[in-house]
Structure 1
Amino acid sequence: MPQSNTVEVLYQDHHSWLTGWLRRKLGCPQSAADLAQDTFMRLLTARETPSPAEPRAFLTVVAKRVLFNHYRRQDLERAYLLALAEMPEQLAPSEEERAIILQTLMELDQLLDGLPCPVKQAFVLAQVDGLSHAQIGARLGISIATVKRHLSKAALRCYFAL
């Protein structure tokens, strides 16, 4: 069966069940509907969608990944808004700049997903905070050579993602 037919059948048979499952997890019908749609969009854009023997278990696994990304985006947005609140008002970006920066942060977070935490930290300290290799090493308690390796890993991930 072609992939789009598989997703169509899953959607028709299990969309309302998945939306209800997400509503119980989130407590918000609008967010549940959005994340159910995101789950099916993920299936549509996947290279291959299997015809699962247990469709609800399969959809639960995919939806949990979507839900995890949703929570990560929320955490990232909260951290960004907290950093903005600590900025002097005259230096704060406009609403349009805020939206662009937040979108860029989310895309960067996705690019770096799967890398070890120290690699991500080194990359952010270099690219966002503008710290030198020596400063990053001192902050993370690692050698300059390790900082360079971490930054190379992160840069390669970003380069090959593009």
Structure 2
Amino acid sequence: MTSPASHSVEGLYLVHRRWLTEWLRSRLGCPDNAADLAQDTFMRLLTAREVTPIREPRAFLTTVAKRVLFNHYRRQDLERAYLEALSQMPEPLAPCEEHRAIILQTLLELDAVLEGLPVTVKRAFLMAQVDGLGYREIASELGISLATVNRHLHKAALRCYFAL
């Protein structure tokens, strides 16, 4: 199945969609989530900037699908942590459902922007921006110098700036 048609996204979709959905279902155990993530995989291909010749379509799709699956699990972890934090809040202070959805979407976007930065850079940035901690508090909490906190926050701020 290495015809030229199978190298276009449309061709890959027509030839390999069922196989990819089954592959994802075997990992997720849920046919609905598998179908959604298969679609996300093909959407990622459609929006890719660079199109390269594909010698092994299934291996290629598996690689892309693994990245989509990783992002799915990361989103679940982030959502779980957010819901856990909400459960710790007193009822009168908890945001309404609409605000919860907006906050969660913002957290996911921020997570995507900060992706690839070292964990301590992310933590320092979140401590400053979300928790409202000062540089000294962050340095003490993370066990790093003030100069390192400054570098970390600068690096994260640059990432956010260029993401815009």
- Asked if these proteins are the same fold (TM beyond 0.5), I'd say yes
Question: Which residue of structure 2 aligns with residue 122 of structure 1?
Answer: 124
Tell me how far 1:49 sits from its aligned partner.
Answer: 2.4
Distance 1:20 1:144 in 2: 51
Q: Does the alignment pair 1:36 with 2:38? A: yes
Distance 1:24 1:95 in 2: 33
The ranges of structure 1 where at least 4 consecutive aligned residues each deviate by more than 2 angstroms after the TM superposition are none
Q: Of the candidates 130, 134, 137, which is equivalent to residue 136 of structure 2?
A: 134
- CA offsets per residue over residues 31-90 of structure 1, 9 Å max, x none? 000000000000000002223110000000000000000000000000000000000001
Question: Which residue of structure 1 aligns with residue 54 of structure 2?
Answer: 52
Q: Which runs of 5+ in 2 are unaligned?
A: none
Distance 2:142 2:152 in 1: 11
> In the comparison of the two structures, how many residue pairs are matched?
159
- CA offsets per residue over residues 103-131 of structure 1, 9 Å max, x none? 00000000000000000000000000000
Distance 1:120 1:32 in 2: 30
TM-score normalised per structure 2: 0.95
TM-score normalised per structure 1: 0.96
Distance 2:74 2:101 in 1: 17
3-state DSSP class of the match of 1:51? coil
Across the aligned residues of Structure 1 and Structure 2, the Cα RMSD in angstroms comes to 1.1
Q: In percent, how many aligned pairs have the same letter?
A: 73
Write the mapping of 1:58-137 to structure 2, written as runs, cut at 5 A. Answer: 58-137=60-139
Distance 2:38 2:106 in 1: 24
Distance 2:163 2:8 in 1: 28
